[in-house]
Chains A and B, each alone.
Chain A
Amino acid sequence: MSASTHAASPPPRKPRLVCPAGSLRALTLAIDAGADAVYMGLKDATNARNFAGLNFDLAQARDGIAYARSRGREVLMALNTFADARAPGRWFTAVDAAAGLGIDALICADTAVLAHARDHHPQLRLHLSVQASATTQEAIEFYRERYGIRRAVLPRVLTLSQVEQVCRHSTVEIEVFGFGSLCVMVEGRCALSSYATGQSPNTAGVCSPPSAVRWEDGAGGVSARLNGVLIDRYAPDEPRGYPTLCKGRFDVDGTRDYALEEPTSLNTLSLLPQLMDMGIAAIKIEGRQRSPAYVEQVTRVWRAAIDDCAAQPSRFAVQPEWTAALGRWAEGQQHTLGAYDRPWR
C-alpha cells in the first residue's frame, strides 16, 4: 500500500523508535542507543508505571528534555491513568506541568485529562494512550475530532489484519508495541489487579502493587501471592515471572496451567516489513520499570533492525544476534507475536 492512500499527512517511511525511561539515566542511555523518542512519567499516580523509586521529578524532567533536544530527539510524557473523581485536580496540574516543561507530546487516556489539555494548552501535541483502548478507526476518529489527538497507540489485543485495517483508514499517526512484557486484557479495562489489591493501572498506575506481593519459600516450592491470593507456585529452579493475575497458574477443571496468558514477552521484530508497509508511525518498547541496561540494549537492537528494514525492506531478515540479545531481556524468555497472531480474540 502506498503512503498516498492516507488521508492525513503521509506517514514517515521509517517508524520512529519510542523507548521507555524510568529514570534520567535510562533516558540518556536510550537516546545514546538510538531512540527517536523516549517516554517518561512524573513521580505520582498520574502515569501507569507508578512504582517506588521510578520516574522523574520536575528538575530531572527538565534535564532529560534538554539532553534529548540537544540531540534532536523527542520526549513524550505519559499521563495515562484515569483521574480520581475525588481529586481530579492532580491530573490537571500534571498536564500544566508537562506543558510548562515543553515536552513534545502528552500521552493520555482519560477524556477529562484530554479535554483539560485541549482547552488550556492548545499547542500541546496529544497522543492517545494504549490505556484508552481505542481499537477501531471510529474510536480513534472520535478522539481526534473531540480532542485533536495526533497519534493513537494501539492496544496489544489487535491482530495484524486489524492493525492494518485501522492504519489504512486512520487520519492520525498509529503507534504499536514492538517489544516487552505483555498486558493482554483489553487495555485500559483490566480490573484484575483492583480485584485482588484495590489498585490497578488505571486507578493507581500500578498492576500488582509491590506492597501486595509476597514471595514465600515453602515445601512445595516458592509461592507468589498477591494480597494473599496465590498467583503461582514455582519449583526451586523454575524461571519466575511478575506475579500478575493474568499470568498466574490456576486450577481450571482439574488442570493446573496458565489460564489466561503465559509469562512471555511480545516481540514483533519479524513483522517489521509488514508494519512499515502499513505506514506505522512509531514503534514502542515497553519497560519503564526495567533497568537502564535493558533499555540501552533493547533500543540498540531495534535501532539496527529499523534501519536495516528501511534500507532494504524486501531483504529484511531478523538477525540471530538480535533474537539472542532480546531473548536475554525477555520476561519468560520466550517470544511471541502476541495477539498479532493469537487465535483467540
Chain B
Amino acid sequence: MTTARPASLSASLPALPPPPAALRRLIARLPVHPPSLLLAAALNRTLRPRLPDDAAAALAGHTVEIEVRDFGVRLRLALRDGRFHSAPDHGPVTLRIAADAASYLRLLRGNDDADRLFFERALVMEGDTEYGLLLKNTLDAIGPLLHWPAPPR
C-alpha cells in the first residue's frame, strides 16, 4: 500500500537536463530497434506480471509508438503472445504518444495524471483514442512502475 505523501512532492521532482544538441541528433539517427528492445525487456519484467489477463488480451496485437521528444527517440512496441516485443520501424501504428522524458518519468512514478498533461499539451496522443484510454486506465489501475528515488519515509 502506498503511504500518504506530501502534496508538494510531485512539484519538486528532479527535472532532467535537456541532452546536448549533438547527442540528440545522434540519438535521433539511431534505429528504433535497440531502445525498443530494451523497453520491451523492461516492461516484460515490471509491467507484464502485473497486467490483468483481460487487459493484456484487449491490448494485444497493436503497435504503439512512444516518442521521447527531448531525446529525439522513437520506440515501437507491441504485446504479442503474452510478451512485449519491439515492433517494426515502419508501417501503421494504433497509437502514437509523444512527451518529454520528465513527463514520462512523472507518469511512471505515479506523480502525474495523463489527462492533465494532455490538457496542457505536455502529452500528445494520436490514433485510436479508445485504445489510448484503455492503456491509460490500465496503467493507472496498476500504479507506479518506477520507484525512484524511493519515497520518503
List chain A positions with a Cβ less than 8 A from chain B: 22-26, 28-29, 32-33, 51-54, 209-211, 213-215, 217, 236-241, 289-294, 297, 300-301, 321, 325, 328-329, 331-333
In angstroms, Cα B8 to Cα A241, docked, is 25
A23 near B7 with CB under 8 A, answer: no
**Residues from chain B with Cβ under 8 Å of A51 in the complex:** 133, 137
Contacting A at CB under 8 A, from B1-39, are: 1-4, 7-8, 10
In angstroms, Cα B4 to Cα A214, docked, is 37
In angstroms, Cα B4 to Cα A336, docked, is 29
In angstroms, Cα B92 to Cα A341, docked, is 49
**Residues from chain A with Cβ under 8 Å of B143 in the complex:** 25, 292
**Residues from chain A with Cβ under 8 Å of B3 in the complex:** 32
B110 near A293 with CB under 8 A, answer: yes
**How large, as a class, is the contact surface on chain B?**
35 or more
Contact among B7, B114, B125, B130 with A52 in the assembled complex (CB-CB below 8 Å)? B130
**Residues from chain A with Cβ under 8 Å of B130 in the complex:** 52, 209-211, 213
B133 near A53 with CB under 8 A, answer: yes
Contact among A25, A53, A214, A236 with B136 in the assembled complex (CB-CB below 8 Å)? A53
B120 near A239 with CB under 8 A, answer: yes
Give the Cβ gap from A239 to chain B, nearest Cβ, in Å. 5
Give the Cβ gap from A167 to chain B, nearest Cβ, in Å. 31
**Residues from chain B with Cβ under 8 Å of A300 in the complex:** 4, 7
Asked whether A240 and B118 contact (CB < 8 A) given A22-B137, A210-B133, A211-B130, the answer is: yes
Asked whether A293 and B113 contact (CB < 8 A) given A22-B140, A53-B134, the answer is: yes
Contact among B110, B126, B135 with A217 in the assembled complex (CB-CB below 8 Å)? B126
Q: What's the dominant secondary structure at chain B's contact region?
A: helix
**Residues from chain B with Cβ under 8 Å of A236 in the complex:** 121
Residue of B nearest to A325 (CB): B7
**Residues from chain B with Cβ under 8 Å of A22 in the complex:** 137, 140-141
**Residues from chain A with Cβ under 8 Å of B141 in the complex:** 22-26, 53-54
**Residues from chain B with Cβ under 8 Å of A321 in the complex:** 7-8
Residue of B nearest to A328 (CB): B116
A239 near B121 with CB under 8 A, answer: yes
Give the Cβ gap from A54 to chain B, nearest Cβ, in Å. 5
Q: Encode contact with A along B86-121: 1 for CB under 8 Å, 0 otherwise.
A: 000000000000000000000000111111101111
A332 near B119 with CB under 8 A, answer: yes
Contacting A at CB under 8 A, from B39-98, are: 55, 58
Asked whether A301 and B119 contact (CB < 8 A) given A28-B2, A51-B137, A215-B129, the answer is: no
Contact among A241, A289, A301 with B7 in the assembled complex (CB-CB below 8 Å)? A301
Asked whether A293 and B111 contact (CB < 8 A) given A28-B1, A215-B126, A217-B126, the answer is: yes
**Residues from chain A with Cβ under 8 Å of B114 in the complex:** 291
B129 near A25 with CB under 8 A, answer: no
A329 near B4 with CB under 8 A, answer: no
CB-based closest 7 A-B pairs: A53-B137, A23-B141, A291-B113, A52-B134, A210-B130, A213-B129, A211-B130
Give the Cβ gap from B153 to chain A, nearest Cβ, in Å. 15
**Residues from chain A with Cβ under 8 Å of B113 in the complex:** 290-291, 293-294, 329
B116 near A329 with CB under 8 A, answer: yes
B140 near A52 with CB under 8 A, answer: no
A52 near B58 with CB under 8 A, answer: yes
- Could you list some 16 contacts between A and B, CB below 8 A? A22-B141, A25-B141, A28-B1, A29-B2, A52-B133, A53-B55, A54-B141, A210-B129, A210-B133, A215-B129, A289-B137, A294-B115, A294-B116, A301-B7, A328-B116, A331-B119
In angstroms, Cα B4 to Cα A239, docked, is 30
In angstroms, Cα B52 to Cα A324, docked, is 36
**Residues from chain A with Cβ under 8 Å of B121 in the complex:** 236-240
A297 near B7 with CB under 8 A, answer: yes
Give the Cβ gap from B130 to chain A, nearest Cβ, in Å. 4
In angstroms, Cα B2 to Cα A328, docked, is 22
In angstroms, Cα B10 to Cα A291, docked, is 14
Give the Cβ gap from A60 to chain B, nearest Cβ, in Å. 9
B137 near A32 with CB under 8 A, answer: no
Asked whether A54 and B137 contact (CB < 8 A) given A33-B4, A215-B125, A329-B113, the answer is: yes
